[in-house]
Structure 1
Amino acid sequence: MLLQLSEIPLTTLSGIGKKTAQKFAKIRINSVQDLLFHLPFRYEDHTHIYPINELYVGLYATLQGRVIDINTTSRKRKMLIVQISDGNSAIMLRFLNFTTTLKKNFSKGKLVRAYGKIQRSCVGLEILHPDYEFLTSKQRLNDIKKNLTPIYPTTSGLKQITLRNSTSQALLLLKKSEIQELLPSGMYAQQMTINQALHIIHRPPSNLNLDLFNKHKHPAQIRLIIEELLAQNLSTLLIRKKKQKELANPLPKTSTLKQKLLKLLPFELTNAQKRVVKEIETDLVKTKPMMRLVQGDVGSGKTLVAALSAIRAIEHNYQVALMAPTELLAEQHMLNFSGWFKKIGLQVSLLVGRLKDKEKKKQLARIATGEIHMIIGTHALFQKHVKFHNLALVVIDEQHRFGVHQRLNFCNKGLKQQIYPHQLTMTATPIPRTLAMTTYADLETSTINELPPGRTEIQTVVISDKKRDDIIERVHNACLNEGKQAYWVCPLIENKSEISEIQSVTNISEKLKRKLPNLKIGLIYGRMQASEKQRIMRKFQENELNLLVATTVIEVGVDIPNASLMIIENSERLGLTQLHQLRGRIGRGSVKSYCILLYHSPLYKIAQKRLSIIRQNNDGFIIAQKDLEIRGPGEFLGTKQTGLVDFKIVNLIRDQDLIPEVQRIARYMYKNRPQNITAIIDRWIGNRNIYSKV
């Protein structure tokens, strides 16, 4: 009987005790099969020993020699410098902030083998923090590695040597057993078995092309990339197929309330808004629940599209619920929807965590009886004590902050006699094509790719905070002499307490008041009372304030056409998408608008790249794609919230050309090998399985 590698615990391997097993568990490795699917992210070539006189700057190389000199220095920072020679030439190994033990390990005459990137110092070639090992004379020539050396993702206290030794034992067990082959042969060109692929990926022979391997283009890597993408695709395909079997209340065309609202608006819908409303209305007349994502740039009018969709459900005597990720955004939606709906006789309610018990009970009772037509809230909406009377449409704003589980749980709140509500999700963070085809493949997509007429392009400039006084003078001229309004944004800084953040933004506000005594300056931050925030925002909207100092809470807010200048402090700390969202608060009128990104030196390369992109682009779709490329899907979406994009080997940017092929294989598997689908999903997604709670 073959061994089931998924059932063999790690502690059966030599060198893995209880404490080491706990470290492995931190990176979700609990069995031998888990270990085999913990894949290297790059490789090093330790199979060739370079003579020191053949080394050059930029080369990653293995070399060996005897220690001929040891020095320490502590001028600017503590350093250990070890000089080794192979008999013809010498090179330095440099260690920063070394320990006493490390220094003792290096003694003159010891034989050392080292690997690292060759770089130039003021006195010659060196390797900074090399990988190294001490050799005996017998090992000098006989112990050269025959395979490329894999480098694995790891965690604190778990060394590469432990990962490699454990994987070697797992590969021996794999030879005695086999991992089940779930992908039929002949699905694509150069296909190999899962077992062949795992052996090559963990121990690639030295004659393989290292550059090809590090680019993840070898057939062994392609085999695993395709199966992992397949697992993702099949899981969303299951959601789509299940949804097709579900029933929803059809919402036929109505026009009375919709026309009333449209007549109240001081503007016409854009062509893009009209097209998206039509796409939604086409879905709503069906007996299958709508699953549609509306994406549009900042200021494109998604909220109004949601309001027109909500009216359709309300006219048929159903309820609508809108869920936002933060209380501030929920409060802002409450202002917008109540402003529109109260004029046409509809009741809107806000349900958030900070409501007092008495008020909350009152709202819950009105929701349960159906007195409230539109309910707006946060995660509080899918708590057990929230009972809807007849929910027919759920709207989820900033959907990238919610995972599939949360979206589906919210929809299930409206489940009544096996009738599901329709679902409309919205985002101002455009979803790049690769994510739309994978992570959000369970949704139909509508795009509002047009801004309302009269908007002017925002000019963005990047300036050192050393020129702060010049910027303050510019704010003075814009507000006092030109009659414009401005935002001064102070981003929250990670690892700082909430109190210190409030103190920080308050200090900046006070400094600006001293330097700009003739301006009326307001202050707003997240933990203010909702009524106080609304009062300040209303004063700014009515031009009673010249300058608003704020944290990033104004990432979502009201339209203020006269606000045409924004200064963002510490802009190097923010991601592209958030910078673009903040910038979207200005440029809402016909006046030329300017966004000034203040940065604090030194400005690192990755921050330089981000600020350069945001300076050169105003298109949210281009910015979202660049943000995905820089941060990867996990950070872009927030892996903790989605639980979907923590891939083992897939890189959606690098591997996007494989997606159409994977979609073809997924359709084949669903039709011809349905018995393999659950096993494929479990192998790659495990207990993060997105269909398990559908």
Structure 2
Amino acid sequence: MPAAASPAKDSAVSAFDQPIARLTGAGPRVLEKLAARGLSTLQDLWLHLPLRYEDRTTLTPIRALQAGVAAQVEGTVEAVERGFRYRPMLRVAIGDDSQATLVLRFFHFRSQQVNQFRVGARVRCYGTPRAGQHGLEIVHPSYRVLEESDAGELGEQLDPVYPAIEGIGPATLRKLIVQALDRLPDEASLELLPSEWLQGLGLPSLRTALLAMHRPARDADLAALAAGTHPAQRRLALEELLAHHLSLRRQRIALQRHRAPALKGQGALAKRLQDALPFELTGAQQRVFAQVRHDLAQPSPMLRLVQGDVGSGKTVVAALAAMLAVEAGKQAALAAPTELLAEQHLANLRAWLEPLGVRVAWLAGKVTGKARATVLADVASGAAQVVVGTHALMQEGVAFHDLALAIVDEQHRFGVHQRLALREKGASDDAVPHQLVMTATPIPRTLAMAAYADLDVSAIDELPPGRTPVQTIALSGERRPELVERIRAACAEGRQAYWVCTLIDDSDEVVAQAAQTTFEQLSAAMPELRIALVHGRMKAGDKQATMRAFKQGDVDLLVATTVIEVGVDVPNASLMIVENAERLGLAQLHQLRGRVGRGATASTCVLLYQPPLSQMAKQRLATLRETNDGFVIAEKDLELRGPGELLGTRQTGLANFRVADLARDAALLPQVRELAERLLHESPALADRIIGRWVGGAARYASA
């Protein structure tokens, strides 16, 4: 078992908490700017790590310079030219013993700078050369003019370049961090992880890692530092990932101290529903429902995330789970982020459940007056056994009779406080409802391990039989006329199509066809078709009416912005065109593609792009052409974009990682889980201190 914290370690804790105000040069204005970036203690400065490094430990002969490769040179001023052709400019030519000349170019300078560069003066400068009119030049190098008595000794360490902080110069920031590092406690006082664990992982101590990051030796592996694979970075990333994992586990442990209704019925109602369905459950659906049923039978609250591709059948699993609650005489609630998606759930649940005698109620913003009062009364009395709705479910004034199961669809689209509010609707005494969270955005396993350490994760990784894979092709925007003919032919055969644009209005800055313009052009080109337009700026009622008309087959072609990404189920739609596909992320493109291929007809998704494509855009489009597997796509999306956008970091807190990168450091996660279990079991107090060091008192709501 790890040793108990010593008095020395207590002093390290206080050193961590020392305010920056104690450092020389930390005046009120500087402190205000630092605080705005979340930097207020010495530990914040220790963990404010360099973005990159500059090697000023060697001098490169001017003749050996390479364009695009940063270097430090020293030479004698040969000529100075000050010009004002288009704007003020200062050009300084320096030469060295390699018999070559380098031009230093300045666009912003003061008169005293010009006076420094006298012919014959010795100058040392650092920067990245580029090709100029007369050989290589460096624009705005960092430099100093050496006095005759100045031997100009070279540094022993690489120079760190820190993330810029508005209103604070780089030199001021460096001086503050140097002072903070001078107050770094000794190794034994600073370390929180048991030494034998670190040795087993082959990683340095925290103190060694911090000094290696801020003051790397001249022979440090710059390539490893740039790639984030240096042992010092891995050591810091390990502890940071561990802290976040522990904070989520703590959240789960705290919630599971509550009671929850143990739904141990025979499952007769769920069996009747399953028998009445017009389709067989897939093996994946059966497996996930078995996991959910096992959780619901426990007296502690279920916390399960069910992820699966669009159309994989998550709603059926949710309905079966709801039947276990109803059979026990309790209520279930299903919340969806948009009225359209909630209405779709409502239609499915009513069709499945009302023949079984189960009362399904509807509660959304547009349910008002007497109708709302009736629904609220039914929810409060328990007459409404399953309640479907939007954010309206979470509002004050909504009281459940006995809520046993809270289901949240597309959970990342809800704010964390809203999810907490729904859970609280079923809280009584020390009991809370079970929680089932669903998402149609498959999450890479590595990301799920880090972001949802407080949830059990299930995957419905099998599509129902009869679903025809969507063919995906990428075309240059020049071939739009061909697509118009393709749409005309598809609609003539009685099928429907989407044309998705990424903007509502035309923009001079972004080369993209706006939805409004596209709607007008396509209406003119195909007057025989019923074409409608839907976008996010329309009134909610108008948008719903248009979507409903498309769903009912009264519209042939729907021109839309990405508002249709989630929630539209139109089996007759077999053609999806995404304009300017290069502007969208993989997950969003995959979600849009999931709007077609929902019937038996062979479907196509056309990714219309505006050349030239960036390297990342090429990779995204290639991935979509190669696979329809949402889990494969999610892994690639993580690799290309990182975790922030993928999860919606505003809700998860993952954007706050200082060192760790989930895509890069995924290999550490199994070790992180193992360390977390050991710490929680053997030394809970140590776990709390690790959380405090990296996460602080920040509230975590990911278990909501």
TM (norm. structure 2) is: 0.88
1:451 match? 463
Task: Tell me what 1:282 maps to.
Answer: 294
1:292 alignment partner, SS class = strand
What residue in structure 1 maps to residue 316 of structure 2?
304
Structure 1, 327-336 or 439-448: larger mean CA deviation: 327-336
* Aligned residue in 1 for 2:502: 491
CA distances 1:352-389 after superposition (whole Å, capped 9, x unpaired): 45654665454333322222222233444334433221
**Does structure 2 conserve the Cα–Cα contact (< 8 Å) formed by 1:294 and 1:426?**
yes
1:349 pairs with one of 345, 348, 361? 361
Amino acid at match of 1:468: R
Equivalent position SS for 1:325: coil
2:273 aligned with 1:273, yes or no? no
SS at match of 2:195: coil
Residues 1:368 and 2:380 aligned together: yes
Aligned to 1:134: 144
In structure 1, C-alpha distance between the alignment counterparts of 2:134 and 2:474, rounded to whole Å: 38
Q: Which residue of 2 aligns with 1:314?
A: 326
| Counterpart for residue 600 of structure 1 | 610
Q: Which residue of 1 aligns with 2:177?
A: 167
Letter in 1 for 2:454: D
How far is 1:558 from its partner?
A: 3.6
Q: Among 115, 140, 158, which residue is 2:126 paired with?
A: 115
Residue 445 of structure 2 corresponds to residue 421 of structure 1:
no
Aligned counterpart, 1:48: 58
Contact 1:572 1:611 in 2 (8 A): yes
CA displacement, residues 417-457 of structure 1 (integer Å, 9 cap, x when unaligned) = 21221111111111111122221121112111111122222
Return the alpha-carbon distance in structure 2 between the equivalents of residues 138 and 433 of structure 1.
62
Q: 1:560 aligns with which of 558, 570, 584?
A: 570
Gaps of 5+ in 1: none
**CA 1:461–1:693 in structure 2 vs 1: closer, same or farther (change >3 Å)?**
closer
Q: Does 1:325 align with 2:312?
A: no
Query: Are 2:325 and 2:332, in contact at CA under 8 Å, matched by a contact in 1?
Result: yes
Q: What amino acid maps onto 1:436 in structure 2?
A: A
CA distance in 2 between partners of 1:74 and 1:264 (Å): 83
Distance 1:131 1:467 in 2: 47
Aligned pair in 2 of structure 1 residues 49, 391: CA closer, same or farther (>3 Å)?
same
The 1-side partners of 2:598 and 2:90 are apart by: 58
Q: Under a length normalisation based on structure 1, what TM-score does the superposition of the two structures give?
A: 0.89
Distance 1:447 1:565, change over 3 A: same
The change in CA–CA distance for 1:118 and 1:611 in structure 2 (over 3 A counts) is farther
Q: Counterpart of 2:497 in structure 1: which amino acid? A: A
Identity of aligned residues (%): 46
Counterpart amino acid of residue 456 in structure 2: E
Whether contact under 8 Å (1:577, 1:627) holds in the other structure is: yes
- Give 1:29 shift: 0.5
Please state how far the C-alpha of 1:181 moved relative to its aligned partner: 2.7
Q: Does 1:12 align with 2:33?
A: no
Residue in 1 that maps onto 2:591: 581
Residue 507 of structure 1 pairs with residue 491 of structure 2: no
Partner SS, residue 487 of structure 1: strand
Contact 1:7–1:31 (CA<8 Å) still a contact in 2? yes
The equivalent residue for 1:618 is: 628
- Please list, as runs of the form range in 1=range in 2, the aligned pairs for 1:470-485 lying within 5 A after superposition: 470-480=482-492, 482-485=493-496
1:381 pairs with 2:377: no
State the alpha-carbon separation in 2 of the partners of residues 504 and 494 from structure 1: 5
* 1:644/1:690 contact within 8 Å kept: no
CA pair 357-58 structure 1, distance change in 2 beyond 3 A: farther
1:139–1:210: structure 2 CA closer, same or farther, 3 Å change rule?
Answer: farther
Closer, same or farther: CA 100–214 of 1 in aligned 2, 3 Å: closer
- Conserved 8 A contact 2:515-2:561: yes
In 2, the alpha carbon distance for the partners of 1:582 and 1:224 equals 38
Q: What's the offset of the Cα at 1:140?
A: 6.3
Give the structure 1 partner of residue 5 of structure 2.
Answer: none
Equivalent residue number for residue 467 of structure 1: 479
1:91 paired to 2:91: no
- Which position in structure 2 is the counterpart of 1:665? 675
Give the stretch that moved more between structures: 662-671 or 674-683: 662-671
CA 1:692/1:663 → structure 2, altered by over 3 Å: closer, same or farther? closer
Matched, 1:335 2:347: yes
In 2: Cα distance, 1:626 partner to 1:337 partner: 34
Choose 579-588 or 374-383, whichever is displaced more. Answer: 374-383
* Superposition deviation, residue 327 in structure 1: 4.0
Checking the alignment, whether the CA contact within 8 Å between 1:179 and 1:195 is kept in structure 2 is no
Contact 1:118 1:125 in 2 (8 A): yes
Q: Structure 1 pair 133/562, CA: closer, same or farther in 2 (3 Å)? A: same
Which residue matches 2:4?
Answer: none
Q: Indicate if the aligned counterparts of 1:484 and 1:546 stay in contact, CA closer than 8 A.
A: yes
Structure 1 residue 391 corresponds to structure 2 residue 418 = no
Distance 1:520 1:507, change over 3 A: same
Distance 2:452 2:111 in 1: 50
Q: Whole-Å Cα distance in 1 between the matches of residues 695 and 264 of structure 2?
A: 40
Alignment of 1:645-656 (within 5 A): 645-656=655-666
Alpha carbons of 1:423 and 1:36: their partners in 2 closer, same or farther (altered >3 Å)?
same
Q: 1:147 to 1:587 in 2, by over 3 A?
A: same
Q: Is the 8 A contact 2:88 2:108 kept in 1?
A: no
Deviation at 1:168, TM superposition (A): 0.5
SS in 1 for 2:628: coil
Pair 1:177–1:275, CA change in 2 (3 A): closer
Between stretches 607-616 and 546-555, larger displacement belongs to 607-616
Q: CA deviation at 1:57?
A: 4.1
Using the TM superposition, give the Cα deviation of residue 282 of structure 1 relative to its aligned residue in structure 2, in angstroms.
1.8
Give secondary structure in 2 for the equivalent of 1:445. Answer: strand
Q: Against the structure 1 CA distance between its residues 319 and 207, is the aligned structure 2 distance closer, same or farther, given a 3 Å change threshold? A: same
| Alpha-carbon contact 1:66-1:108 (below 8 Å) kept | no
**Equivalent residues of 1:80, 1:103 under 8 A apart:** no
